[in-house]
């Protein structure tokens, strides 16, 4: 009986920490260093250092990218878990048919979650047109 209480308590604590990652908790800020020019939700971001902040309840969040205290881009994203923590801050991008690079993910050093950028409606149309052309 005592062993099952300990197991339930440990499970509860693990669940609490897991849900705080999805909700953003107190850890809803990070940094981003872009080495390439990328586009996110139609907004071009030049190479440089940025601050990342997000708000939202649950895995769907609203992300703001700031540079010099000014918001330069705002877009929806999905908080996703990963088994291993990313060792350093990083980002993912993919080449678009028009030659632009689109931001697809933001990874935070030492964290077991990342922000998966949701494609804008314009990017989805471009992607579906590119698929239809193949």
Residues 6 or more apart whose CB falls under 8 angstroms from that of 90 comprise: 106, 107, 109
* CA 38 and chain centroid, separation: 15
- pLDDT for 125 equals 45
Q: Which domain holds residue 58?
A: 2-133
Positions of the chain with pLDDT under 50: 3, 7-24, 121-122, 124-134
Extract the runs of DSSP E, i.e. beta strands, from the chain.
29-34, 38-40, 43-45, 48-55, 60-67, 70-81, 90-95, 101-107, 113-117
Tally the domains of the chain. 1
pLDDT the model gives residue 133: 31
């Amino acid at each position: 009986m005592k062993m099952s209480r300990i197991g339930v308590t440990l499970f509860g604590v693990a669940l609490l920490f897991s849900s705080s990652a999805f909700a953003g908790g107190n850890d809803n800020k990070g940094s981003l260093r872009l080495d390439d020019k990328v586009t996110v939700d139609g907004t071009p971001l030049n190479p440089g250092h940025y601050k990342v902040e997000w708000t939202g309840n649950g895995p769907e969040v609203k992300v703001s990218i700031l540079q010099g205290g000014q918001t330069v881009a705002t877009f929806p994203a999905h908080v996703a878990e990963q088994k291993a923590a990313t060792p350093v801050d990083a980002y993912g991008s993919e080449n678009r048919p028009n030659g632009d690079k689109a931001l697809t993910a933001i990874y935070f050093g030492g964290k077991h979650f990342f922000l998966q950028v949701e494609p804008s409606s314009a990017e989805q149309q471009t992607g579906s047109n590119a698929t239809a052309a193949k």
